[in-house]
Structures are given as C-alpha cells and as structure tokens.
Amino acid sequence: MPHARTYFTLDIVVASALVAAAMLALAWGKIRHEEEQDRVRATLSTIRLLKTPAEAVAEKDGWGRPLLFDDTSRTVISLGADGLPGGDGYNADLRVGPGTSSSETR
C-alpha cells in the first residue's frame, strides 16, 4: 500500500507564517523591554555612585549618552532612551538629587 501524501494548502501556510510572526513580535517586545529596564537600572546605579558634579559629566548613562548636572537643583540627569528632555516611559528623564521622588527615578 503506497504512503499517502500530505499537502499543505496556501491558507494553512499563510496562517502558520502569521502565527510565527506574531510569536516573534511578542518575544522581541519582551526582549526590548528587558533591555530598556537594564539600561534604566545601570543609569540609576551609575548616578548613585557619583560623588561630585565633575564625575557626573564624565560618566555616561545606560544609552551611552553623557549625564547632565543641574547646578541649580544639584540634580544629575539622564535624558532617557530618546536623549530628549521630557518624555514618557523609557524616554522619560531620570533625575537623582535632593528632593527627587522615586517616581522621578522610576
């Protein structure tokens, strides 16, 4: 008795490809989220180890950009993932100094 051949129709192949793409997109999003969390943690750790304002301008944040020092508020600042002032989420500024709350430092 000959073996039966298995055929895949185009709709099954396309559906399988879409499911695979969706799973890959979810995995990629999780990886990116974890990478950004690591950058935030590294930046805050670096800022908290600084002893002088001069050290702040010599250091880089988790995204490889120089840290800033605000003389007026005596605060060390990272401009976040986008490198621009303000922002939301990982693009938000990280500030550590006198009077900063945990929400400002995540």
Burial of 82 (0-12, 13-18, 19+ CB in 10 A): middle
Predicted pLDDT of residue 2: 63
Predicted pLDDT of residue 103: 44
Predicted pLDDT of residue 19: 79
Residues 6+ apart with CB under 8 A from 57: 66, 67, 68, 69
Identity of the residue numbered 29: G
Predicted pLDDT of residue 21: 80
Mean pLDDT by 10 residues, the chain (106 residues): 69 78 76 84 86 82 92 90 93 85 49
Predicted pLDDT of residue 102: 46
Domain residue ranges of the chain, discontinuous segments joined by +: 10-96
Alpha-carbon distance of 84 to 89, in angstroms, equals 13
